[in-house]
Structure 1
């Protein structure tokens, strides 16, 4: 139940039981007078590094930070004595001293804490057993060390018998365990899992593997590995596992592709619907096993870069063309080739990563992604060589995603040559009526604040007039471009060309929209009478999706005209938009973001 605090008197009355819904963020720059009073009523405490040190390996704390942190610990100790602490989640996004600061923090919050996330740890051992004993109610534990070429351990002496039994309590309530860049012995790993019967999420990312140089203090026989035998053990110990990732720190020594293929093919993890991998652990057989597994895969995550592996992109693209149940795809570091989206061959492949689509490929052999209900997409696009920014490139990206994945809610796009000007097709993303979160990472100079007011939620008379002007202008520009290119044959409107290019009508395979084309309607009706074909669609419909004008200005024209005629709102559910400049000086994009803030005051813009 939520009650609005309408006055200071009401706040004073309810202060004792008030719970802050927003997290309290600790920074050295936050005044103690502002921070300390919030600690009593918050559920979430986030500890962050200084913004100036965000991209550095920052270990040493400055005097101001030490003083601020000491005051914070003292206040938490007082609240602990009074049993007034309500904190159930702590998220630390910086290095922290384990013995003198982390352990006291856990001690004071031990009775209420259920969620602990430690990120960007540097060169310190995590006393996992002591941590679990201090906080017996922990359900979620995520530990992440910075990828600096050094791996530390959650249990340095885990291979010694005298340490293992005493380190852990008799039973753990863990449901989610994520270890990233962490060394852990096989013995202690299995013990943790056996003591955690409720485990549903297990992500062991880049853990130390056999022959790893970073763990000389571990016996070779006890270093964690993911052989078929070990995966079988994990499967039997964690029968309720729903989310999984297993990978080695050094990928070049040995790939896990064969192990994963066999494990998935044998259905060792029947409840897992969220699979996360490194690229080197994926193969065509693994993708095929994911498509044929009895349990439905709803989330696929690939955590590293496939910048040089063209066959990996092909495996991923072919998988997505046959994955209608996928809801979440996270491949942010993958440099996906735009040519996979270029169904008409309008973009030169010079400089692009190799895709299988070219201008000579017939439409019947072209495939599009089958995941119509995709809600989350984090993806990167890339190209080889030095090429100029192309309007067709960005229109292909925005147009393809908006048509093929119309139910996206969370979208992150990374492409160094991405431009957000109107004629580049940024407005095509407004087809995503359920979009809530949008993040764009680019090196292009998006400093032009004009032609952005279309992002307003509602169309005013003046905006409608400008949109009509833009549609007419782009339609004229597109006419000259289109004469030099033959698109899908069913879209040819020039009567002089129509007798040379008969409309290509194809029978559908996977269902979807079954509308006929104006030129082929009579022929379709005749064929239906003769019983030759039961269902016919124009060639620009692929799996029920209208792929006309992809990458062309006409796609923008049709969108503007559709919005004007139907008066639908632009991103009615949007709550967050972030534009990240990958160059050293991000100030050039501020005018662009300021304009968006004016047009959409209801959206948080970063």
Structure 2
């Protein structure tokens, strides 16, 4: 790869010397590894002074913002990710952590203040060394900035904050920093700030709310997940703040995070009615929170000693409409003394990236999948992009993956799993643009399922409704059908959507009746369908891919073999 980069740099230099790059100096996007440039950064930058978008990736090198911005005055989008450090110091200063650098930075402050105004609208930097005087120069030069991500920033030795002893500064004045950004960048609409060695405090979050009153797009590191961040975010989303200040929330993974546990996502989703985009790919949402009908209890999923002890209190409440005071009215539903679980309040959710796993254990039984897919199909009708991660997952018809076809606006769908089961041509008949319910029923298990539940009247017309609703039907871990006459329902008396069939086989019956009408195509807006898996039966995988590409050629269907925790 290094040889290829060297050849590219030589070609760029040759083209530049002949004037061949003049026409191309308008919009260039680069994804380059700094480790592969091998000292050619100066040549690279001087050859591409007209680029507007630049993305650099690399480890073990110091990157110099000042030099990049000087050489590329037309930059509008700059991203420097996974570098050892980012600073304004030119390459002549040998070590970012040396005490001599403190002297150099302070003596060049006047020069930094004389920078011409930058065209930058988006800036992403990872590992930036924080010094207030340098930051002031940066943001004063970027008045057009609309999006700022300062990821895993660090406080270098003896730089700024009044520490001239060469020891690591104990604190960084975040209040002053937030005020600086707000003052210099009035158009800022997206903001991320995280530090390597500390988390944001309640006071920090309060200062952010105060400085960015109109901001609706908030971004944090997922390692910040916890009670402090949860309460801070809920204040962003509180109904008594007008306008509501949370439409987009990012809890982004860092290099140090694998999966983040906690109940925060459930609380936020239940109390953020204006939320439209949630990016939390490595934050775990417990699927027990989705079990609004307590279906898993009837399958024996909950162990006797953990059935309720491991379930947080916030699962046992129902979310009502806000009262006149703007507070939520939490009541019981009166059914055998049980309190109802809350459901998500964000009906306008368009983007959802989460990991779904169990609190104490997980299972790939069909009921677990049926609960998850059934819940999402009813609560998030406006989803356009859905990324789900789950360690164990069943993708059979009985597992309810077909229920997501109710999401008619869905455009991009990705599932990442360690082990999937039964994703093959025989179980994917429902993926056709206009599937035949008769073909679906040719599958032995599906036919047995219908026979044991409502039988032949399913496709005869309205009379089937009376037969199908008499009894709720559940599916046990062994995919056997079990009738449940005593299953407690949740109804829709307190919610704007009927959740009474989530997790029940009756949900599949309703889906088949919906599809038999042929009123709308399956996923009419779908552009991409992707399954990432670590373990699977490869012959079935190949046949499934061939089948889907044949019946839905307009969809970019991908089966990607990838380590789950990668």
Shorter-chain TM-score bucket reads 0.7 to 0.9
Instruction: Please report how far the alpha carbon of residue 387 of structure 1 lies from its aligned counterpart in structure 2 after TM superposition.
Output: 4.3
Among candidates 52, 62, 70, match of residue 133 of structure 1: 70
1:537-548 paired onto structure 2 within 5 Å = 539-548=491-500
1:121-520 paired onto structure 2 within 5 Å = 121-145=58-82, 151=85, 153=87, 155=89, 156=96, 157=101, 160-166=105-111, 169-209=115-155, 225=172, 227-250=174-197, 254-265=198-209, 267-278=210-221, 279-280=223-224, 282-292=228-238, 293-295=241-243, 296-304=245-253, 307=259, 309-310=261-262, 313=263, 315-347=264-296, 348-350=301-303, 354-356=311-313, 357=315, 365-383=340-358, 387-446=362-421, 448-459=424-435, 463-469=436-442, 473-477=448-452, 493=470
Give the structure 1 partner of residue 53 of structure 2: 115
What is the aligned length? 481
Question: Any conservation in 2 of the 1:593–1:605 contact (CA below 8 Å)?
Answer: yes
Instruction: Please report how far the alpha carbon of residue 420 of structure 1 lies from its aligned counterpart in structure 2 after TM superposition.
Output: 1.5
Distance 1:585 1:83, change over 3 A: farther
How far apart, CA to CA, are the structure 1 residues paired with 2:471 and 2:553? 45
Instruction: Please report how far the alpha carbon of residue 100 of structure 1 lies from its aligned counterpart in structure 2 after TM superposition.
Output: 3.7
CA RMSD, 1 decimal: 3.6
Deviations 1:410-460 (A, max 9, x none): 11000011222111111111111011111110112445332213212133x
Distance 1:464 1:144, change over 3 A: same
Deviations 1:20-45 (A, max 9, x none): xxxxxxxx6xxxxxxxxxxxxxxxxx
TM-score (normalizing by structure 2): 0.75
Deviations 1:445-479 (A, max 9, x none): 445332213212133xxx34213556653334557
How far apart, CA to CA, are the structure 2 residues paired with 1:570 and 1:584? 26
Distance 1:66 1:309, change over 3 A: closer
Q: Secondary structure at the match of 2:29?
A: strand
Instruction: Please report how far the alpha carbon of residue 582 of structure 1 lies from its aligned counterpart in structure 2 after TM superposition.
Output: 3.4
How far apart, CA to CA, are the structure 2 residues paired with 1:604 and 1:75? 39
How far apart, CA to CA, are the structure 1 residues paired with 2:14 and 2:282? 41
Question: Any conservation in 1 of the 2:54–2:77 contact (CA below 8 Å)?
Answer: yes
Q: Secondary structure at the match of 1:557?
A: helix
Deviations 1:495-537 (A, max 9, x none): 9xxxx98999xxxxxxxxxxxxxxxxxxxxxxxxxxxxxxxxx
Q: Secondary structure at the match of 1:400?
A: helix
Instruction: Please report how far the alpha carbon of residue 568 of structure 1 lies from its aligned counterpart in structure 2 after TM superposition.
Output: 1.4
Q: Secondary structure at the match of 1:428?
A: helix
Instruction: Please report how far the alpha carbon of residue 233 of structure 1 lies from its aligned counterpart in structure 2 after TM superposition.
Output: 2.6
How far apart, CA to CA, are the structure 1 residues paired with 2:396 and 2:486? 34
Q: Secondary structure at the match of 1:424?
A: coil
Q: Secondary structure at the match of 2:391?
A: coil
Question: Any conservation in 2 of the 1:176–1:200 contact (CA below 8 Å)?
Answer: yes
Q: Secondary structure at the match of 2:55?
A: strand
Instruction: Please report how far the alpha carbon of residue 273 of structure 1 lies from its aligned counterpart in structure 2 after TM superposition.
Output: 1.2
